[in-house]
A and B are shown apart, each in its own frame.
Chain A
Amino acid sequence: MAKLTIDGIEIEVPDGVTVLQACEMAGREIPRFCYHERLSIAGNCRMCLVEMEKSPKPIASCAMPVGNGMVIKTNTAMVQKARQGVMEFLLINHPLDCPICDQGGECDLQDQAMAFGFDRSRFLEMKRAVKDKDLGPLIETHMTRCIHCTRCIRFATEVAGVEELGATGRGEHMEVGTYVERSLTSELSGNLVDLCPVGALTSKPYAFNARPWELNRIESVDVMDAVGSSIRIDSRGGAVLRVLPVLNEDINEEWISDKTRHACDGLRRQRLDRPYVRRDGRLVETSWQDAFAAIAARMKGLAGTRIAAIAGDLVDAEAMTALRDLMSALGSPHVDCRQDGARLDPACRAGYVFNTTIAGIEEADACLLVGTNPRREAAILNARFRKRWLAGGFKIALIGEPADLTYKYEHLGAGPRTLADIAAGRHGFAQTLREAKRPMLVLGQGALARADGAAVLATARRIAEGHGLVCDDWNGFNVLHTAAARVAGLDLGLVPGAGGRDVAGILAGAASGEIEVVYLLGADEIDTSRLGRAFVVYQGHHGDAGAHRADVVLPGAAYTEKSGTWVNTEGRVQRGAQATFPPGDAREDWKILRALSGALGRPLGFDTLDAVRARMAAINPVFARLGAPARNNWGAFGSDGPLEDAPFAGPIRTFHMTCPISRASETMARCIQAAAAETRRATGTHG
């Protein structure tokens, strides 16, 4: 601990913090542009100058470590003058285009110029102009506005792990860019826009859309992957205009992935805004009553065993609770939430969640990735792996498809055979896991969604048990999900009951005619062509695969349009908030199921959101506790069986389109085009 005096206040701070951090702790705000808590220190903007006793010049507080007995002053005339001078220099080459700049209203430079700037210009020379760069479909650049804080360069290099941005040239000719024109290849590039303290990097899809003070903000949870990042939804006039990250140290720190941020334009396209019924082969608009009547007519007298339901990847726990209760009221055991056919075992919660927790990755010292590409499946979680890897002493190995994960790893093999070798202790990495203090294993859906998935799961469990991955204060066994709804689905028991069919069984039953009615709750990732002649009810928010095949379409609400509960891959129960209203006649999903249950003559036992949530908690007590996931008891899961030789294949081929919302998004389509063009450029196949 070091003791120092800041503006007459004595404060004790831990060794190694900087003067700027100490000032923050003392409640003094220090202006800054280049300094950022999560990036390395650059010390080049000079805005954080403070006065230090015995120093003839002001010091850059962001780069000065605290020392015992330091006397710092942050509000003297010298500091004021120094900051004013720095600000004047920064503004020399900064254009006065605030009225047409998208950063206006949320610009650090604007705010700090108001607080520390001079009220007129003494600069008579020409301002410099810099050519704008093309950084791809997400980032609009106005490089003349750049003040060379280098936050974007440091973010790309350190956090995102793509060394593509740099500062070329020197002095007045210094430019931030990629030198060779190219799109950034990071899944986290949207964060550059948040980091940029000026309007040099702004959001391309959001360009000239709104001013920050016009927006309604609400904090919610992301559903584009199973990470459940904390987000802020900004909307105006019933339209979601943008999604921004919210600080959450346990999950996403202050970053979100590009899909989380930019797929929101998909919420305005391809929407189901009224019920439809198929008549003479065509979907015809209808009313809720008629839609329900059509379903009731088809189900009348039908045995429950001829009815099946599949829950999709984005569905909230409330809707799944209603679906579960409705199906059991109808007497159907054919319910499944595992659209991809992953052989997840709902018997033991420790066997299907990310037990280590995302923040827990930082304590791990060895990691075995099995059948997963976390960069594609959970970009934010991958950033945590990289952060841990950068800190050193973290051995990572991969069994599965080799890919650039932004950190170095040892590629052990492609398929289950290598996994079995490790389980049997025949492989060198088994030794590494045993010697590690905090070893972890991450099982991806690519390893589970296959015929021998249950055996792979059991093998992974044996590795966890045999190599010290699970002990009293550490659980290194992890399943990485790709779907936001999956863990809640398993928690609620949306799996086949006694004699029930799983997704493959339901499809086979539908094809053979044994299943006559299939209820798709937002389920679009199945092969709908295999539904045969079954009567298909699709409830969801987008006109995607499921709705195209459906006989009755019931319009639901997207994640921004309802207050729902989601459980992320860690098993963390989180509640999303409603930012806008569902379009047209669309309704919240649990309400639709509740109304349908009435029309079918089997009314569900809840009428309010609170009652649904009480029911959820009654089914599984985990839903009673929001926030930090409880530790799960270890148990038996998976089942022994023969392992196949086929290599593990990743579940996600294209990062940008994985759900009905992102598939409807124009921005995501542009990202895919840009990524393809970048691949051609990098491999030189464009001639």
Chain B
Amino acid sequence: MTDNAPFAFTHENLEQAKRIIARYPAGRQASAVLPLLDLAQRQNGGWLSRAAMEHVGGLIDMASIRVYEVATFYTMYNLKPIGRHHVRVCTTTPCQLRGAIAVVDACRTALAIELGETTADGSVTLAEVECLGACVNAPVVWIGDDYFEDVDPARMNAILAALRKGEAVVPGPQIERLNSAPDTGLTTLANTVR
């Protein structure tokens, strides 16, 4: 996969792209750039090649440079090829206080790569990200489209092992806890909700 490898939406994605563009008023089709880039990234194995960005620009009559500007601004668009699983560990203050650094270290050891690198077998890319907005379940790890919450090094190792074996993993809190309810049991309205 290179930057210049030709890119075009599949028939299915092109239909989806048209539906996305139709959400916006006529003449404002450039507004569709974010969802279209996301669609292109999904089709292109998790990253945006230059050809993909130019293809999107062509669909919405947007100069290539304007698409590059958008794609380089948002960190969720990957401009280089990544592994099959994109593991992003939050290390912002709340997660850090709850042991995110240990989770990062566990990943580094288990995968034998540093932050920003991809494993030799191309299965996992490891990254450090800023606040994911799920601090109540810190530390948070974001893999693919899902959050894995309340992660500790042991759980992290298990998740990584499962991912690399292709086994199913369950996203959400990794401890006994309903969503972001207090993990020590209800602290308020304890009598009314059962």
Contacts and interface: CB of A to CB of B under 8 A. Distances in A.
The answer to whether A and B interact is: yes
Interface of A: 163-170, 178-180
B73 A178 contact: no
Contacts of B162: none
A168 B73 CA distance: 7
Nearest to B72: A168
Nearest to A168: B72
Interface in B50-90: 50, 63-66, 68-69, 72-75
7 contacts: A164-B65, A167-B69, A168-B69, A168-B73, A169-B73, A179-B68, A180-B68
Contacts of A179: 64-65, 68-69, 72
A166 B69 contact: yes
A164 B67 CA distance: 11
A166 B68 contact: yes
How many chain B residues sit at the interface, stated as a range, is 10 to 19
Contacts of B75: 170
Contacts of A168: 68-69, 72-73
A163 B63 contact: yes
Contacts of A166: 65-66, 68-69
B78 to A, nearest CB: 14
Interface of B: 50, 63-66, 68-69, 72-75
**Overall SS of chain B's interface:** helix
A148 to B, nearest CB: 13
Contacts of A165: 65
Given A163-B65, A170-B73, A179-B65, 6 more contacts: A164-B63, A170-B72, A179-B64, A179-B68, A179-B69, A180-B68
A163 B54 CA distance: 13
Contacts of A163: 63-66
Contacts of A169: 72-73
A169 B74 CA distance: 8
Contacts of B68: 166, 168, 179-180
Contacts of B74: 170
A167 B70 CA distance: 9
A390 to B, nearest CB: 15
B43 to A, nearest CB: 21
A78 to B, nearest CB: 33
A169 B68 CA distance: 9
Q: Which 9 A-B pairs have the closest CB atoms?
A: A163-B63, A166-B65, A168-B72, A179-B68, A166-B69, A170-B73, A169-B72, A168-B68, A168-B69
Contacts of A167: 69
A367 to B, nearest CB: 23
A169 B79 CA distance: 11
Contact of A180 (B50, B66, B69): B50
A164 B69 CA distance: 11
Contacts of A180: 50, 64, 68
A163 to B, nearest CB: 3
Nearest to B75: A170
B123 to A, nearest CB: 28
Contacts of B73: 168-170
B33 to A, nearest CB: 13
B165 to A, nearest CB: 37
A464 B65 CA distance: 41
Nearest to B54: A180
A515 to B, nearest CB: 55
B65 A178 contact: yes
A163 B74 CA distance: 21
A179 B65 CA distance: 7
A180 B73 CA distance: 16
A166 B64 CA distance: 10
B147 to A, nearest CB: 23
B3 to A, nearest CB: 9
Q: Which of A164, A165, A168, A178 has the most CB of B within 10 A?
A: A168
A6 to B, nearest CB: 37
Nearest to A170: B73
Nearest to A179: B68
A178 B68 CA distance: 9
A599 B69 CA distance: 69
Contacts of B50: 180
Contacts of B63: 163-164
A594 B66 CA distance: 60
Nearest to B73: A170
Contacts of B65: 163-166, 178-179
A179 B73 CA distance: 12
A538 to B, nearest CB: 47
A204 to B, nearest CB: 21
A164 B74 CA distance: 20
Contacts of B69: 166-168, 179
B161 to A, nearest CB: 35
B53 to A, nearest CB: 9
A166 B72 CA distance: 11
A136 B187 CA distance: 67
A168 B77 CA distance: 13
A163 B50 CA distance: 16
Nearest to A169: B72
Q: Which of A164, A167, A179 has the most CB of B within 10 A?
A: A179
Contacts of A178: 65
A165 B72 CA distance: 14
A165 B66 CA distance: 9
A168 to B, nearest CB: 4
A306 to B, nearest CB: 60
A429 B76 CA distance: 49
Nearest to B65: A166
A178 B63 CA distance: 11
B179 to A, nearest CB: 32
Q: Which of B63, B65, B72, B73 has the most CB of A within 10 A?
A: B65
A417 B65 CA distance: 40
B172 to A, nearest CB: 30
B77 to A, nearest CB: 11
A174 to B, nearest CB: 8
A178 B72 CA distance: 12
A66 B88 CA distance: 47
Contacts of B64: 163, 179-180
